Amino acid sequence: ANGDQTKEPACFSSVIPGWFSEMSPMWPGEAHSLKVEKVLFQGKSDYQDVIVFQSATYGKVLVLDGVIQLTERDECAYQEMITHLPLCSIPNPKKVLVIGGGDGGVLREVARHASVEQIDMCEIDKMVVDVSKQFFPNVAIGYEDPRVNLVIGDGVAFLKNAAEGSYDAVIVDSSDPIGPAKELFEKPFFQSVARALRPGGVVCTQAESLWLHMDIIEDIVSNCREIFKGSVNYAWTSVPTYPSGVIGFMLCSTEGPDVDFKHPVNPIDESSSKSNGPLKFYNAEIHSAAFCLPSFAKKVIESK
């Protein structure tokens, strides 16, 4: 059943009445706003507040703890990049682990890779999965793939127990490091990821905004340089409804066969468009371009 829809959440009225305004201590002094047509769902899970609303210009919007996770209009930019940057960088990925990503969009994208035999996913919050299946069928379509094995639980614990060297790729589609995703940005988590990857395996994690979070990015980069003995790279893309309009990814490989993330070796099979719809954002050119950094960020990231 839908949650209590009678009380208007503070973020709907605090800046412009009838608009959702995204406010967080992670981006003080600014708040991106979207006009709300209708609130479709409001609930509180064991982990976070969950809201779905129909916006005037970006389709339906999923909000967790007051922060936009996806909109129907621009989710392609995030889901396609966080998935294909790692999977198109290695030949024949077979076993893939997704941490977070409860909406199912990353699963939809992983499923485009015909070489993949097993897709494990560990999402902490069942309410996100259920709400996505109800309101975002074109995103949650990822759950229909028979290769998917969904575990509801904490990604940190899941990875601690994962068999050593067992995955070709790990994709960490997490929320921000306030709330349940905090540990997904810390060193012990990256150590478990490295342990779970096979030699020359790859990880791609959500790594915040160059404009807002250079301090977080610096910490992630220096941890990753210590832990991953293959390559360590930062990439970014444009997602209009994320704070500052951009989002970054940390891409690393473990020691073993060389991975050159900037030059994709594993193109996506065009026939995947039949079942999963056409790619809307990703292509080989944008893959390589994603690793070009503005000078201010290049200086900091390369010095770590």
The CB-of-304 to ligand SAM minimum distance in angstroms stands at: 25
Contact with ligand SAM (CB under 6 A) among 23, 34, 67, 99 = 99
Question: What angle separates helix 214-227 from helix 187-196, to the nearest 10 degrees?
Answer: 40
The CB-of-33 to ligand SAM minimum distance in angstroms stands at: 18
How many beta carbons lie within 10 A of that of residue 275, not counting itself? 12
Contact with ligand SAM (CB under 6 A) among 36, 51, 111, 124 = 124
Piece of the chain touching ligand SAM by CB under 6 A; list 107-115, 118-126, 197-205, 229-237: 118-126
Catalytic: which of 173, 176, 215, 258? 173
CA-atom Rg of the chain in angstroms: 18
Question: Is 120 considered catalytic here?
Answer: no
Interface with ligand SAM includes 120 (CB under 6 A)?
no
Q: Under DSSP, is residue 151 helix (H, G, I), strand (E, B) or coil?
A: strand
Name which of 51 and 259 has its Cβ closer to ligand SAM: 51
Interface with ligand SAM includes 155 (CB under 6 A)?
yes
Residue whose C-alpha is closest to residue 231's, from 264, 265, 206, 201: 201
Name which of 158 and 261 has its Cβ closer to ligand SAM: 158
Task: Indicate the DSSP class of residue 143.
Answer: G
How many beta carbons lie within 10 A of that of residue 187, not counting itself? 15
Contacts of 22 (CB under 8 A, 6+ apart): 11, 31, 32, 33, 63, 66, 67, 68, 243
Contact with ligand SAM (CB under 6 A) among 184, 196, 197, 235 = 184
Interface with ligand SAM includes 243 (CB under 6 A)?
no
Burial track 34-50 (b if 16+ CB lie within 10 A, e otherwise) = bebeebbbbbebebbbb
Both tokens assigned to 185: 């940005």
Interface with ligand SAM includes 176 (CB under 6 A)?
no
Interface with ligand SAM includes 52 (CB under 6 A)?
no
Residue whose structure tokens are 């608009």: 19
Interface with ligand SAM includes 253 (CB under 6 A)?
no
Interface residues toward ligand SAM, by CB under 6 A: 64, 69-70, 75, 78-79, 99-103, 105, 122-125, 128, 154-156, 173-175, 180-181, 184
Catalytic residues: 173
